[in-house]
Amino acid sequence: MTEARPGQWQYNFAFLDENTKRMLRRALLKAVAIPGYQVPFGSREMPLPYGWGTGGIQLTASIIGQHDVLKVIDQGADDTTNAVNIRRFFARVTGVATTSHTTEASLIQTRHRIPETPLRPGQIVVFQVPEPEALRTLEASEVETRKLHAHQEYGLMHVKLYEDIARFGHIATSYDYPVMVNQRYLASPSPIPKFDNPKLDMSPALLLFGAGREKRLYAIPPYTRVESLAFDDHPFSVQRWEQACALCGSHDSYLDEIITDDAGARMFVCSDTDYCQQQQEGVA
C-alpha cells in the first residue's frame, strides 16, 4: 500500500496516511450535508508551514485519485511559487497529471481566485482558507461564534457592513466578502475578490474549503444558493474596470494592475493567466 520508490523515503499515496484521510473524508461528508457550516477536524502535520495552504493541501490529499487531473492556482496564476510548489508536491506524491487549463482539470486547488472559465459539473474546487470564521473580526471567542451560528444571529455582520456605508458611502469590503449559504450559514468565501462571489451561487462544481491552522473545513455543494450580504438600498455589486485586459482585450475578467517599467507605467491584465491565454488564442 505504501508506494516505495528507490532512493526516496517512503510515503503513502497523496502523502497522508489512510487514517487521516478517512477522518478528513468523514468530515467532508458532514460538511456537504450542512452547507456552509464549519466542521472541525483533527490535523496531521504537513510538510509545509501554515500560510502555504496546508488546509487546502489536506483536503486535496484526502480526495485526489490516480485519474484526477490537478490544477493549482494562486491569485489566478498557475506559475507563482506557491502554486508551483503545491502542484509539484502532488505530482511527486501521487503521480497524477497536472494542467494549467481550467477545462481539463477535475480538481482545482486555489488561493484567492475562482477561474474565469465557467466551472462544469463533476469538477471539485478546493479553496485554501486562512481564517474560516466570517465573524472572527467581530467576535474573538470560538464559543461565542459557534453560538451565533447556532442561533443564526448575524446582526453583527450587517451592522459592520452598514457602518462601512455610513463612513464610506459604500461597503468597503472587497475581498473575503461574507456570504449566506443555503439561506442558513454565514460563511467566508476565503480571500477571493468579491468579483468572484457570484460564481459561488448555483455553481455546477463542488466547492470545498480547508483551513489548516484553524483545523476546519466546509463545503458548498453544487447548485446551492449563495448570497452575498447586501441591503435593499445598497445592493451587492462587484468590481468593474473601465479598461479591457491589455493582453487579451477581455472586458469580463478580474484585472490586476501591473507596473511595466521603471518610470511607473501601468497596465491592467487578467489575473487568471489561463483564461487570458485562451482569450489571446481565440479559443474561448
Partner 1 sequence: MLQPAFDNMVHDSQRMFRHILTALAEPLLPQDLPQLPPALPGLLPATAAVLYTLIDQDVTLWAPALPDSTVASLRFHCGLQLAAQAEQADFILLPLGSTLPPLASLQAGSAEYPDRSATLLLEVADFTIDQVEASGPGIAGSRRFGAGQLPAGFWAQWQANHARFPLGVDVLLISASQLAGLPRSTLVKEG
Active site residues: 36, 245, 248, 270, 276
> Smallest distance, Å, CB 116 to partner 1?
22
Length of the chain: 284
Interface stretch with partner 1, choices 193-201, 223-231, 247-255, 274-282 (CB under 8 A): 223-231
Residues 196-215 that bind partner 1 (CB under 8 A): 202, 204, 206
User: Interface with partner 1 includes 22 (CB under 8 A)?
Assistant: yes
User: Interface with partner 1 includes 50 (CB under 8 A)?
Assistant: no
User: Interface with partner 1 includes 10 (CB under 8 A)?
Assistant: no
3-class secondary-structure state, position 171: coil
Residues 248-267 that bind Zn ion (CB under 5 A): 248, 250
User: Interface with partner 1 includes 90 (CB under 8 A)?
Assistant: no
- In Å, how far are 26, 30, 38, 61, 221 from 33, measured between CA atoms? 11, 5, 11, 21, 8
> Smallest distance, Å, CB 283 to Zn ion?
12
> Smallest distance, Å, CB 270 to Zn ion?
3
Number of residues forming the site for partner 1 (CB under 8 A): 46
- Pairing outcome for strands 39-40 and 179-181: unpaired
Phi first, then psi: give them for residue 160, nearest 5 degrees.
Answer: -60, -45
- In Å, how far are 60, 168, 196, 228, 259 from 239, measured between CA atoms? 30, 16, 9, 14, 20
> Smallest distance, Å, CB 33 to partner 1?
4
Which of 11, 12, 213, 241 forms a contact with partner 1 (CB under 8 A)?
12
Q: Which does 185 bind (CB under 5 to 8 A by kind): Zn ion, partner 1, none?
A: partner 1
To 10 degrees, the CA torsion angle through 183, 187, 192, 195? Answer: 20
| DSSP-H helix ranges across 97-196 | 142-150, 155-168
Rounded Cα distance between 61 and 55, Å, is: 10
Residues near 29 by beta carbon (within 8 Å), at least 6 away in sequence: none
> Smallest distance, Å, CB 199 to partner 1?
16
User: Interface with partner 1 includes 118 (CB under 8 A)?
Assistant: no
User: Interface with partner 1 includes 146 (CB under 8 A)?
Assistant: yes
Rounded Cα distance between 136 and 55, Å, is: 18
Which of 46, 57, 59, 63 forms a contact with partner 1 (CB under 8 A)?
63
User: Interface with partner 1 includes 231 (CB under 8 A)?
Assistant: no
Task: Provide the strand spans (E) within the chain.
Answer: 39-40, 69-74, 97-98, 107-111, 124-128, 179-181, 185-187, 206-211, 216-220, 226-228, 255-259, 266-270
User: Interface with Zn ion includes 77 (CB under 5 A)?
Assistant: no
Which residues contact Zn ion by CB under 5 A? 245, 247-248, 250, 270, 276
Which residues contact partner 1 by CB under 8 A? 1, 12-14, 18-19, 21-23, 25-35, 37, 39-40, 62-66, 122, 146-147, 149-151, 182, 184-185, 202, 204, 206, 219, 221-225
